[in-house]
Every structure is written in structure tokens, then in C-alpha cells.
Structure 1
Amino acid sequence: MYKVVLPILGFESFQSLSVEKIDDFASFLVFDEKTKIAVVNIKYLTKVKFDFEIDKDVLEKMNIKSQEDFDIYFCVVSQEPVENSILNLISPIFINEKDKLIGQYVTIEKVDPLFASIKECAKL
């Protein structure tokens, strides 16, 4: 179980969740037996450049001291075919695997685009 230290938008009442890994790039955030969200790792999104700063309060809550301390994921709204699925690029999910901490961060920098399909972001 992961402790939610930054609320997941729309799921603020959950204090913990589990992560169900599909492969190196995709996982599910599992809130309960009926509720889960698909997420994709930033490392999979090779066609998009990301450049945003994370504020100090967030770094402290997530116990992040270096880039190796966490992974960044983006929520997926599934579509058919899967490459048309939409990614929310403005509010990444941070996962600190070592300390089992998780949280969502809404960036304050302008991110372009805010939402994009997997085929626009990833090399398929």
C-alpha cells in the first residue's frame, strides 16, 4: 500500500492505495475493488518534452531529494483503439517507490499540450 501524501484529484477521500504494475510503462492506481485509474510512465512518452519545476513543499511531502527518488506518471482516459487514449499532461502522479508515497501535482507552468493522445506522445 502507498500512502497518499498529495491528494489525487477526484479521489481526495482516499488516504492509501495500491499500484498494480502492468509493465515498465503502464500501471493501475487501485483505490478499492471497484475503482482504479490507468497511468503511464513519463519514460514512455518520447515525443513530448516536459519541463516543470516542483515546489519545495511537494518535494518534502513526497520525500524527494533527487530525480532517482520518484517516477512520474500521467492519468489515461482509455479509448479504442488504445493509441487514441488521452493523457492528462498538466497534473502528473508522483510515485516514490522506496518510501511508498504517492501524490498528484498540478503544474503551475504552461504545459503544451494539456491533453494529448498516446500516439501523439509515445513512439509506438
Structure 2
Amino acid sequence: MKIETKFLGEMNIEENEIIQFPNGIPGFESIQKYVILPLEKDSPFAILQSIEHVEVGFIIALPFVFKKDYEFNLLDEDKEELKITDPEDLITYSIVTLKEPFNSSTINLQAPVVINHKQKVAKQLVLQDSITNPLRYPIEGGVS
């Protein structure tokens, strides 16, 4: 199917690539269907694009690339919502806030986007530990 995207124009996606956010993303609760669009091969960055609203797209990144010791615990209710049977089925992203110059951009470690890629269901968590997992973690220093 063809979709319009915020950053990449018109794209072809497969139906099985659609990820459901049953509760939406905070601030975008009514938008529940997204797709992940890679930017470049082997890049830690991608786009989380709504397939319902062209103007809703987020730059996301693999947080472990920028903070090797990044960790958090999933609550039982999160595990249930994400239909987890195997922790290996999960992929974690963080939303990027772009700034000029690019190396002053930040990633949000306080609200990771956790995706069960097998079940195609996802949730943005809001963690309580803002000291260990800050809202604005600098990506400066580049990909390691």
C-alpha cells in the first residue's frame, strides 16, 4: 500500500509492517497505526510514521547506541499490553529532538517506545526515573 510520509514523501509499505499502538502515543492518543521507515542501512535512526496522518512522524533512534548502559524495567501491565512471550521480540527506540547543529540533538530516554516486532504491537512508556533516564539525553559524540 502507498502512504504519504512527513519526511520521505510517498512510500510503499506492506500491510504486515504496520504496528499498532492500542493507546496511541502520549499527545497522539487517537493515532494508532504506524510504520517504521529506516533512514539508511545500519543507521541507528529511523522514522516512526503514522499511516493515518501524514503530518505525524517522529525521528527515532536505538538508545543503546548512544547510552550503552541504558535500561529500564517493564511493569506487568506493560508486558501484558505488549503481548510479550519472549523478551527477544522487543525492540526499543527513543524519540529524537532534532537541533541545529545536528550533534546538539537529544534523545528521550524517559519515554522509550517499546515494540513487540513479532506481534506488531507497541507502547510508549513513561518512566519515573528522570535522573538515570533523562528526557533530553545528548547524542553528541556520535554513533559509537
TM-score, with structure 2 as normaliser: 0.74
The alignment's TM-score, normalised by the length of structure 1, stands at 0.85
| Long gaps (5+) in structure 1 | none
The percent identity for this pair of structures is: 24
Asked whether the equivalents of residues 18 and 30 of structure 1 are also in contact (C-alpha less than 8 Å), the reply is yes
Aligned structure 1 segments of 4 or more residues deviating by more than 4 angstroms: none
Corresponding residue number in structure 2 for 1:33: 54
Query: How far is the alpha carbon of 1:103 from its aligned partner?
Result: 1.2
Aligned: 1:2 with 2:19: yes
Q: Deviations along 1:6-27, whole A, 9 cap, x unmatched?
A: 4311111112112112244111
Partner of 1:11: 28
Moved more, 36-45 or 23-32: 23-32
**RMSD of equivalent CA atoms:** 1.9
Q: Which residue of 2 aligns with 1:20?
A: 37
The one-letter code matched in structure 2 to 1:91 is: A
- Number of equivalent positions: 122
Match of residue 74 from structure 2: 54
CA-CA distance at 1:123 after TM superposition: 4.0
Match of 1:90 in 2: 110
Task: Report the alpha carbon displacement of residue 110 of structure 1 after superposing the two structures with TM.
Answer: 4.4
Q: Find the aligned partners of 2:48 and 2:26 in 1 and give their Cα distance.
A: 13
* 1:107 alignment partner in structure 2: 127
**Where in structure 2 are there 5+ consecutive unaligned residues?**
1-17
